[in-house]
Amino acid sequence: MNEQHSFRAEVKQWIAENFPRTLAGQNPATVGYAPALEADHELWRQRLAEKGWGAPTWPKEYGGAGFSQKEERIITDELSDADAFNPIPTIALMGVTMVGPTILDYGTEEQKKKHLIPIARGEVTWCLGLSEPGAGSDLASLRTRAEDNGDCYLVNGSKIWTSGAHHSNWCGAVVRTDPDAKKRNGISFVMLPMDQEGVEPRPLKLISGASAFCETFFTDAVADKSDLLGELNDGWSVVKRLLQHERQSQIGARTAGAKSERVQDIAERYVGLDDSGKLADADLRQRLANHLMDRQSHALTLGRIAAEAKGNVEVSAASSILKNSATHVSQTRADLILEIMGDQGLGWEGDAFDPNELETVRSWLYGMAASIAGGSFEIQYNIISKNILGLPETTQQG
């Protein structure tokens, strides 16, 4: 325990001495990127990269700091308390949370040294080519193919929902390499640079008014054979692991610098209190209490899992349970805030609404995607039933 206190004190001091105060509250993940602060953003990225704090739990030889998950949480807590943030996971997009951990699991030593260090330093941005127009929940039905061309593969086809593809340097894609094999057996996972003639990302606009989503088209795009992740035709194993890492990143860890007002305080301001000091709307009061209990139960479950694992939580099918729980908590919060604000929570533009009110409906709309992103509620329930409860397979075999 004394070691944790000492580590926390060191982290607090380093942040105080190195975080540019001009960036306080300027986390790009929550407020967008401020071009006027570009030099300070770059200085802060470099300082974090040199400490290995972009991906603190990764081994030092691959750009991390070799810390435990408990130490990583201390860093996250102290960054948040200082109104600071770690921008590198945002810069890397899918790199820190998904691609990097999967390379650690399946990559060769050459692949780890080539790809992990730039990811951990925030020097490259990654997207993923998974879903296709005809292969969403049934991802194994994908048709994008990679054909052997000597020392490389030529990739042809299209992907959809490739978040950040128009800003990315690299793409990790699942492709069909054996059209004659059963659909889950003829798939491989390749990594390819986006800056080439055969790759065309096209941004998609969502109803919320903004979107990082793209559809991406491959026409004889080149993927070096040295960038095949895992074994040829065993990409299904790789992508299943990658999706476990994605769900692990969505189970409710606090985002450094992402402070938000308590729902009960918003309710007090918009709904008001009765003579006894209670929220004036009794029904809303009960539903708000239920939400707060659900949120606390979710947080305590995460804490228990971390404690039982001595701070190093294994990524497993159990992340599907926590992913659904986190989605339920976040969507319920958005629903409650929208209801609490009433008409003021439905504004899209105009001087009658303050910035927080304008953001409310957009956040509510965007949050609907959480039921689908990273695997839909129904997909998670299938995983839970088969891999945790041991129930028989009832979905289509392939």
Tell me the per-residue pLDDT of 185-198, one tens digit each, with 9 for 90 and over: 999 999 999 999 99
Range in 145-149, 197-201, 362-366 with the lowest mean pLDDT: 362-366
Could you give the C-alpha distances from 12 to 17, 79, 289, in angstroms and in order? 9, 8, 34
pLDDT, one tens digit per residue, over 329-385 is 989 999 999 999 999 999 888 999 998 888 888 888 878 877 877 677 787 788 788
Q: Is 123 designated active site? A: no
| This prediction's pTM | 0.78
Ordered by where they begin, the domains of the chain are: 2-120 (1.10.540.10), 126-234 (2.40.110.10), 260-388 (1.20.140.10)
- Judge whether residue 119 has pLDDT over 90: yes
Q: How far apart are CA 185 and CA 196, in angstroms?
A: 29
Residue at token pair 């007002």: 261
State mean pLDDT over 85-105: 95
- Judge whether residue 226 has pLDDT over 70: yes
Question: CA Rg, the chain, in Å?
Answer: 22
Catalytic residue, chosen from 215, 246, 314, 349, is: 246
Confidence band (pLDDT; 50, 70, 90) for 216? very high
User: What backbone phi and psi angles, to 5 degrees, belong to 284?
Assistant: -60, -40
Residue 393 tokens, joined: 């397979």
Q: How far apart are CA 61 and CA 66, in angstroms?
A: 9
Q: How far apart are CA 8 and CA 275, in angstroms?
A: 44
- Judge whether residue 137 has pLDDT over 90: no
- Judge whether residue 255 has pLDDT over 50: no
Confidence band (pLDDT; 50, 70, 90) for 309? low
Q: How far apart are CA 332 and CA 292, in angstroms?
A: 10
Could you give the C-alpha distances from 98 to 34, 124, 236, 249, 317, in angstroms and in order? 26, 14, 15, 8, 15
Could you give the C-alpha distances from 7 to 12, 34, 266, in angstroms and in order? 9, 32, 35
Range in 72-81, 230-239, 372-381 with the lowest mean pLDDT: 372-381
- Judge whether residue 54 has pLDDT over 50: yes
In the predicted model, what is the mean pLDDT of the chain? Answer: 88
Looking at per-residue pLDDT, the higher value among 104 and 304 belongs to 104
* pLDDT reported for residue 323: 80
Q: What is the DSSP letter of 315?
A: P
